[in-house]
Amino acid sequence: GAGVSQSPSNKVTEKGKDVELRCDPISGHTALYWYRQSLGQGLEFLIYFQGNSAPDKSGLPSDRFSAERTGGSVSTLTIQRTQQEDSAVYLCASSLDGRFYEQYFGPGTRLTVT
Amino acid sequence: EDKVVQSPLSLVVHEGDTVTLNCSYEVTNFRSLLWYKQEKKAPTFLFMLTSSGIEKKSGRLSSILDKKELFSILNITATQTGDSAIYLCAINAGGTSYGKLTFGQGTILTVHP
């Protein structure tokens, strides 16, 4: 079946604008994760959704970042008033319930803030 | 705060060499340690380790965990150019967030023909 998809694949935006990044997880995967990867760095956890439970937002770097997951499937990560330090690749992953170690990653969205 | 440190940050070898990648960690309520291979953008899962001293093996790759000394190693024998990638180590800690992973900065492995 189809893997995790993300859109757009690339996004260039001006400082101060808002952006929305979309993630479509694998069908049937109840867990969804967002990560950020800056150049030459490992993955930085942002937020994690598991079924109907309250999301773990502990990795969101500031209140300009928010995410939602509608209907237990598609997720949108929103960054308000973007800053240059927000430039990174944003990766989404999904997994089956309890199989957090076997996360399937999407191709990512490369965000560039000019 | 949970922390994962990988070494070396980069490594260049020739085909046929054996490499050892290191991962040390600090964590409260350790649950598991994971290794991923990242080629281009999307990481792929390699191993999950929960118990000390038990080697996980898949082909030319193997990994072992030492919970007393708080580290893990990933070995790759008879390296091939297709092994060139970033290797990421991550830990999963106990607590309220079951699925949260803390990643190290990765080791960039380059295998020359």
| CATH assignment of the domain containing B92 | 2.60.40.10
Residue A49 CA to residue A59 CA, distance in Å, equals 12
Report helix, strand and coil shares of chain B as percent, to nearest 5: 5, 60, 40
Asked if residue A54 is part of any domain, the answer here is yes
- Name residues of chain B where pLDDT drops below 70: 95-97
Is the pLDDT reported for residue A4 higher than 60?
A: yes
Which amino acid does the sequence have at A105? F
Test B100 with A43 for CB contact under 8 angstroms.
Answer: no
Structural domain harbouring A19: 13-95
In this predicted model, which residue has the larger pLDDT, A8 or B54? A8
Peptide bond before residue A61 is cis, with ω within 30 degrees of 0: no
Token code pair at residue A48: 């994690």
Test B92 with A31 for CB contact under 8 angstroms.
Answer: no
Residue A11 CA to residue B25 CA, distance in Å, equals 34
Asked if residue A1 is part of any domain, the answer here is no
Asked if residue A2 is part of any domain, the answer here is no
Give the number of domains in chain A: 1
d(CA A16, nearest CA chain B) in Å = 27
Give the number of domains in chain B: 1
Structural domain harbouring B48: 3-112
Asked if residue A114 is part of any domain, the answer here is no
